[in-house]
Structures are given as C-alpha cells and as structure tokens.
Structure 1
Amino acid sequence: MITQDKLASSTQFYTWHNYYCAYEVYNPSNSTPTGIHLLLIHPIGVGLSRQFWQRFCREWYQQGNSNQIYNPDLLGCGESEKPHVACTPTDWAEQLQHFLQTVVQKPVVVVVQGALFAVAIELVKKEPNLIAGLVLATPPAWPLIKKEAPEWQKKGVWNFLNSPLGNLFYRYARREKFLRDFSTKQLFESADDIDSEWLDTLRKGAEDITSRYAVFSFLAGFWLKDYSSAVVSIQQPTLVVIGEKVSSISQEGKKLTADEWLADYLTALPQGRGKKVPGRNILPYESTTEFVNTISPFINEIDSD
C-alpha cells in the first residue's frame, strides 16, 4: 500500500504576479512516470487546499497508474501566498495558465472538484492547447452554470465578509463541530466517512486566518456567471462524474436527480461522457476507489490518442 509518507514530495514554489505559489509533483514510487500528466484543481472552502487530493493520489498509484500528477495550491490556499484580495475564476485560471506554461510545459488532463469547474472553463479558454481532456467531479447543477449573479451583489457580499463580522464568522466556521456538521449536511453521503484525516486536514488548513480571503471570494459568488456558452464550446473530451446521492447546496438544482444532473451536461458538452458512482458531493475523497476506477480508463484512452 502507498502510504502518505511514500506519496509525499517536497513543496515547490513558483512566482506569479509577484505572489509565491506552492505545488507538489507526484510520481509512481516503483516505476518511471508514463502517460499524460494530470493537473488537479482543488475545491475552495474552510481549510481546503491541495491536501484535498492526497487520498486520490495514493489510490491512483495504488491501482497501478503511472501518470505524473501536478497538485498546486491556488492563490490564497494552502502554502501559496494569501493576499487580501478578492479572487475570481479568471484570476485562478491565469495562475494555472502560468503554471502550465512555465512548470508543466506539456498537455494535461484537468481533474477538478465541484464549482471550481468555473476555473477549468476559464483555463480551457486561455490555454486550450495544453488541455487534452477534463474530468469533472460533481460540477455544479446546470441551473447554476447558467446563473449570472449581478456584480453589485458579488461585491456587496465580499464587502460584508471582508469585515470584522466576516473575521468572526471564519473563526467560528473553522471549529470542528461546524466542520463536521457542514460535512454531514452538505458533502458526504455517510457521516461515518467524516474521519479524523478529513477534519484534521481542514483544521490545519484553516489555522492561518488569512486563508479566509479565498473562501470569502468563493462565498461571494464571483464564480457565478453564465458559463453555458463556454461549456458548449469545450472541444476536449470531458468526463462528468456524479455521485448517486448528489445534492445541491443552492436552491438551483435541489430537485435534480443524478441522472438529470448528468443529462444536462451530456446535452451541452460536445465530447461529454458521464458516469455515476456511489457517494454524494466530494467523490475523490469519500468514494476514492470508485472514482479512480471510473476515470482511469478515460484518461488512458486520451493518452493513447
């Protein structure tokens, strides 16, 4: 079995817009990397960073895959710099574009969790030649993809959160009870899967209070714009993976079944495919084995083209 220690590599850094940004590169322990590279885009939330993907990476190599994996921290998260700014999907996409151009320098399959699909969309628009395919783990319900939140509303929420009240809220939200309750209500299918590894990772990630700015950027809804035409324009092969018990935090999509959730994307994506796996909303973590089983043939197929 591949342990955390065997998987871990040293944190490396690059500079983007004078900010230092962190990443790790993973390779199979007993062989030379082969196949197309993977670029992982972690979700944004209290305590979340590239550490979200640790379980996925271990399982990826445990199942015999040998692709090199690039796992960056987005600006404001993990070990990357945490400036007091509001970040948009375009900002994070530009960060990853620079990362692809200067560090990776080869085509990748992007594996992205949840609403950070908005970042992947912007990245595909900016750097299509370096994106060979995409894997979407529980992307937002289609009604949210089409939702255009007004700029005044986004800025208003940001300004409210970017206040002493927002500071207090973040300190409250990083308590274990809040993290466990939120994970139970919104993320995991089974409360039994909310283990110490998950909670410890979130607590550690939220220790730096300046990590709140990235979270507030997400909560302000800067990712809420009508991306429907951009999705329709994605020419890369795209695999959409949905949990059988998928649910929407927002009112939009609350009544959708997993089949309906998938059907919306398969109608929109020119080269879309869809799969359901056991689990709810964070499949790379709660249903890691099934998720890896599902996406590895798709990635190998892209690699062989």
Structure 2
Amino acid sequence: MKHYDWQGYNCAYDRIDPPTGEPSGSPLLLIHPIGVGLSRWFWTRFINAWHESGQRNVIYNPDLLGCGESDLPRVAYHPDDWGQQLQKLVTDIIQEPVVIVTQGALFPVALSCAELFPEQVKAIALSGPPAWRLMTNPTQPQQQNVAWNLFDTPLGAAFYQYARRRKFLASFSERQLFGDPADIDDNWLDRLQADSAKAATRHAVFAFLSGFWRQDYQAAIESLTCPTLAVFGKQASSVTKGYSESAEKRLAEYLEHLPHGEGCLISGRNVLPYEATDAFVNVVRPFVDALT
C-alpha cells in the first residue's frame, strides 16, 4: 500500500505490476463502488484475473476518500471531490494517460475525471452503470441536504451499525447485487464487515445515499471524447425504486448517447468484476488492447 496527500488528506492506493516481465500498455485506474464496507479490495479478483490472463498493464487501485485506508473525514462527498482526489494521483504519480475502469454508480466520478484531466483519460470501461434515467434525473439539492442532515445524526450512526450486520449484508447482496446467491461467499461478507468496522466510513456511504451524485449527466456523457465501453449483466437491476428496465434497454440507451461508445451484456447482475470476474475481464481485454 502507498499513500499520497490531497488537500491535507491521506489517500491510500496500490500499484500492482504484472507478476513477471516488463509492464506494457496503458495503466488501469480502478474506481471502486461506494457502500457499506466497500473499498479497493472490491477489485482484488479482477486484478488477479487480469494479470493471469496475460495482460501486462500496471494497475492503480485507490481507496476513495472516506473509504478503506484513506482518511475518513465527515464530509458530504460529491463526485467532483473524488475526481479531484484522482486527478492528483494521475497527474503527480501516474503521469501518463490511464484507462479508467469504474463500477456501478461511480460513473459520475469517471465523468468528473474526464472533465478535470481529459488529456490523461485514454478510455473508460463501465461495469453496470446506473439506469439512463437515473443518470439524467437529478435529485433536488434541498432533498439531498435533508437526507444528509438526517443521516448525520446519532440515528444515522445507529442505522450504520444495523446495516453492517452480516445478516443484513447477506440479504441486501442477494436482493440487490448478485445474480446468483451462491456467489455471496464468506470473503464478500467478511470484507464488508471488516471494512465497515470503522464508524467513520459511514460518511461516504451516507453522502452516496443522500444522492449528491444524482445530477443530470446527459451533456457530460454526450461530450465524452474518449472510447467508452459499457458492460451490463444480463440480470441488471436498479437499487433505486422505480427504475426497472431490461439490460438490453439499458445498453441501448447508453449506446445512443455515448459518442464513442460500445457495449455488451455478460452473465451476472450488478457487481460484475466480483460475481462474473472472468467474463468481465474477457470483454474489457480486447477493448483495452485495441487502444494501443
């Protein structure tokens, strides 16, 4: 694990080189999802499978601020906060264009990166991004602030302790994340519980649940100049109520608006790099190889 400073905060990340030989190709920059106990460990299976497949890209795997082993300030995080954190990592440490691989509703962070340092974002690969209507239908700032102020109370702290119980995590994972309950293994639940043991990790989760990421991103998406790959699980679903449509429709809507987009459906539901690792690697590999 390595660290760097951004605005006085300590930010943790891993640099993973291929196990043998010299690195080649563009570095990958991974953006993990936000949720109870989630941090950069989410990508471990993907990283191992990527290098086992013969790919030689260096991989940078950061903990976003408020998660994992980065500092955990009491902040109402917005996508641009994390985008600026990653800008420091790319411009000062990586110092070359990267391929961003992002999970789920952290697509807005990748969009922030593409706006903040476009010349150093070579391409973006999306794992299960939100339904198109979620990406274009913002919540009102007043509603976001009311939710944050409610979460930022002793009641919110108590709810977080409830939400990190193993039974709740298993139930939520089965209802909302995994296509096959058999894929919800001890490693998944153990890591969620371990990483949520620090009570201050709740701030990033509550900022996410408050909807600070919910903006209208249509113009930003239609302005992307880099190649973009959208990968959906065939069983894709929305955690947010009222946003139900087929995976085929989700993919079609993204491809309609991504100026340099391509996409596909694979097995799995909403956490493809974990539940369908090999299938996800197999579709991202040719996308990345075609960039060089």
1:15 lines up with 2:5 in the alignment: yes
Q: For each residue in 1:186-209, what CA deviation from the matched residue of structure 2 results, as whole angstroms up to 9, or x when unmatched?
A: 000010000011111101110101
1:135-154 paired onto structure 2 within 5 Å: 135-154=125-144
- Cα separation, 2, equivalents of 1:211 and 1:55: 23
* Pairs within 5 Å for 1:92-241: 92-241=82-231
Secondary structure of 2:110's counterpart equals helix
Amino acid at match of 2:224: I
| Runs of 4+ displaced beyond 3 Å | none
> Structure 2 CA distance, aligned partners of 1:143 and 1:288?
27
One-letter amino acid of the structure 2 residue matched with residue 34 of structure 1: S
Q: Distance in 2 between matches of 1:149 and 1:183?
A: 25
**Residues in 1 aligned to 2:129 and 2:140: alpha-carbon distance in whole angstroms:** 21
Aligned partner of 1:285 in structure 2 is 274
- The Cα of 1:31 is off from its aligned counterpart by 1.4
SS of 1:217 mapped into structure 2: helix
What residue in structure 1 maps to residue 29 of structure 2? 39
CA distance in 2, matches of 1:252, 1:159: 24
Which residue of 1 is the match for residue 288 of structure 2?
Answer: 299
The Cα of 1:252 is off from its aligned counterpart by 4.1
1:33-60 CA deviation, whole Å, 9 max, x = no partner?
A: 1111000000000000000000100000
**Cα offsets for 1:10-37 (capped at 9, x unmatched):** x100000000000000011111111110
What are structure 1's unaligned runs of at least 5 residues? 1-10
CA distance in 2, matches of 1:12, 1:227: 32
* d(CA) in 1 for partners of 2:254, 2:286: 20
TM-score scaled to structure 2, two decimals?
A: 0.99
1:279 CA drift (Å): 0.3
- Percent of aligned positions with the same letter in both sequences? 47
Letter in structure 2 aligned against 1:286: E
Partner secondary structure for residue 290 of structure 2: helix
Determine helix, strand or coil for the equivalent of 2:167.
helix
Residues 142 and 253 of structure 1 are in contact (CA less than 8 Å); yes or no, is this contact kept in structure 2? no
Report the 3-state secondary structure (helix = DSSP H, G, I; strand = E; otherwise coil) of the residue aligned with 2:262: strand
Q: Which amino acid aligns with 1:282?
A: V
Between the aligned partners of 1:144 and 1:166, the Cα distance in structure 2 is 25
> Residues 157-196 of structure 1, C-alpha deviation per residue, up to 9 Å, x if partnerless?
0000000000000000001001000000000001000001
CA distance in 2, matches of 1:252, 1:262: 18
Q: Paired residue for 1:6?
A: none
Structure 1 segment 9-88 matched on structure 2, within 5 A: 11-88=1-78
Alpha-carbon distance in 2 for matches of 1:64, 1:274: 23
SS state at 1:84 partner: coil
* Alpha-carbon distance, 1:85 to partner: 1.2
Q: Which amino acid aligns with 1:65?
A: Q
The answer to whether the aligner puts 1:274 opposite 2:260 as a matched pair is no
Amino acid at match of 1:231: I
**How many pairs are equivalent?**
292
Partner residue in 1 for 2:249: 260
Distance 1:21 1:78, change over 3 A: same
Residue 235 (structure 1) shift:
1.0
For residues 204 and 54 of structure 1, what CA distance do their matches in structure 2 show? 15
Deviations 1:253-302 (A, max 9, x none): 31x11110000000000000011000000000000000000110000101
- What letter corresponds to residue 165 of structure 2 in structure 1? R
Q: CA deviation at 1:251?
A: 2.8
- Matched position secondary structure for 1:25: strand
State the shift of 1:221 in Å.
0.3
The letter of the residue matching 2:163 is: A
Uncovered stretches (5+) of structure 2, i.e. residues with no partner: none
Q: Partner letter of residue 227 of structure 1?
A: Y
Equivalent residue letter for 1:268: H
Query: TM-score scaled by structure 1?
Result: 0.95
Distance of 1:252 and 1:124 partners within structure 2: 29
Distance in 2 separating the partners of 1:199 and 1:65: 29
